[in-house]
Amino acid sequence: MFVTTQFAEGAGRLWWLELEEAVAWLDRISVNVGEETIAAPASTAEEKQAAFERLYWALRRGPEERLRATVALLAEAAGVDGARLVRTLCLGWDEIAALAREPNVTIGAHTLSHPMLAKWPAAVARREMAESKAGIEERLAVPVRHFAYPVGDPASAGAREFALAEEVGFVTAATTRPGHLFPAHASHLHALPRVSVNGLYQSEEALRAMLSGVPFLAWNRGRRVNVA
Ligand SMILES: [Zn+2]
């Protein structure tokens, strides 16, 4: 279990859920994202889905400050209380401490504030990694040896982040690049792939296909290791 320390403290922002709730409440969206104005109806479920997808990906492509500021505007317009989302949905330190005592649970780090690390200066990225590691170790009195990159796609975690994760003392770090583990990953322990089981692909058939590895070989065009 990878812990984002601000979420454990009831702070920080689950911006993707703020966006989801804002679109759920609003009947139409109109917002500037850089040069682009995104205006879309959002009264039916289909319209909401389409508006969310458009907004989400337009924001994901740009700087994270803009993403967070824009989502805050939409959340305010929709009366969405981001702080309540964190307090309602995230485990607190006491609950995480109880989990950490379970023999089959390993606690890893997932930064202080859940940023897309590659979009920030190196010093910020390093602090997010090192201070979350130190903070969890101090709070739970367990060693924190593993890390997961927030968001974890190539635009959030690349070569610089892989090197930083090693430098600040993590033994492994996981991306969200889709794939199975192969022996060659032994030389890329800070760029591990992931099989995402997240509720969107939970049919038994889909899960079996994912576990076979076939979709990932196709996705990765036969490459077993994707660390560039
Ligand atoms: Zn995350």
Task: Determine, yes or no, domain membership for 5.
Answer: no
* CATH number, position 127: 3.20.20.370
224 alpha carbon – ligand 1 mean position (Å): 24
Separation between Cα atoms, residue 124 and residue 111, nearest integer Å: 11
Each residue's pLDDT tens digit, 75-117: 999 999 999 999 999 999 999 999 999 999 999 999 999 999 9
Structural domain boundaries enclosing 43: 15-79
Each residue's pLDDT tens digit, 188-221: 999 999 988 877 767 888 888 888 888 888 877 7
Task: Determine, yes or no, domain membership for 112.
Answer: yes
74 and 111: one domain? no
72 alpha carbon – ligand 1 mean position (Å): 19
73 and 37: one domain? yes
148 alpha carbon – ligand 1 mean position (Å): 8
pLDDT score at 198: 76
151 alpha carbon – ligand 1 mean position (Å): 6
Q: What is the pTM of this model?
A: 0.93
23 and 110: one domain? no
* Domain count of the fold of the chain: 2
15: helix, strand or coil: helix
149 alpha carbon – ligand 1 mean position (Å): 7
Question: In the chain, what's the furthest Cα-to-Cα distance?
Answer: 52
Task: Determine, yes or no, domain membership for 224.
Answer: no
The pLDDT mean for the chain works out to 94
Average pLDDT for 134-139: 98
* Residues having C-beta closer than 5 Å to ion ligand 1: 150
117 and 53: one domain? no
